[in-house]
Amino acid sequence: HAAVTVPGVPFPIEMPAEQYASVFDPIDVLSFLAARTNRILLGTSAVNVLYHPPVLLARRLATLDQMSQGRLIAGVTAGWMTEEFLVAGIETPDIENRFADHLSALRAVWTRDPVYYEGAYYTIPTSDIEPRPFRPGGIPLLTGYATHAGLRRAARLGDGLHPYRNDFEQLTRELGIWRAGVESEGRDPGAMPVVLRASAKPESQPGSQSDVEPRPLFSGEFPRWVDDLNRLGDAGVSHVFLQFGRDVNVDQSLELLARLKDAAC
Residue in 198, 194, 264, 263 with CA at minimum distance from that of residue 235: 194
User: Does position 209 have pLDDT exceeding 60, yes or no?
Assistant: no
112 DSSP 8-state letter: -
pLDDT (0 to 100) of residue 19: 67
Q: Which amino acid is at 58?
A: A
Q: Using alpha carbons, list the distances in angstroms from residue 102 to 17, 108, 136, 161.
A: 28, 10, 20, 17
pLDDT in tens, 145-180: 988 888 999 999 999 999 999 999 999 999 999 999
The arithmetic mean of pLDDT across residues 34-59, rounded, is: 94
pLDDT in tens, 2-13: 555 655 555 566
Q: What angle do CA 89, 19, 9 make, to 5 degrees?
A: 30
More confident residue, 246 or 240: 240
By three-state DSSP, how is residue 259 classified? helix
User: Does position 43 have pLDDT exceeding 70, yes or no?
Assistant: yes
Q: What is the rounded average pLDDT for all residues in the chain?
A: 88
User: Does position 205 have pLDDT exceeding 50, yes or no?
Assistant: no
The arithmetic mean of pLDDT across residues 225-248, rounded, is: 93
pLDDT (0 to 100) of residue 22: 76
* Cβ-based neighbour number of residue 26 at 10 Å: 16
The kind and range of the H/E element at 172 are: helix 168-184
Q: With 0.75 as the threshold, say if the pTM is over it.
A: yes
Q: Of the given ranges (57-66, 122-131, 204-213, 217-226), which has the lowest mean pLDDT?
A: 204-213
Banded pLDDT at 20 (limits 50, 70, 90):
low
pLDDT (0 to 100) of residue 229: 94
pLDDT in tens, 175-201: 999 999 999 999 999 999 999 999 999
194 DSSP 8-state letter: B
pLDDT in tens, 103-139: 999 999 999 889 999 999 999 999 999 999 999 878 9
User: Does position 206 have pLDDT exceeding 80, yes or no?
Assistant: no
Residue 140: strand pairing partners: none
* Cβ-based neighbour number of residue 245 at 10 Å: 11
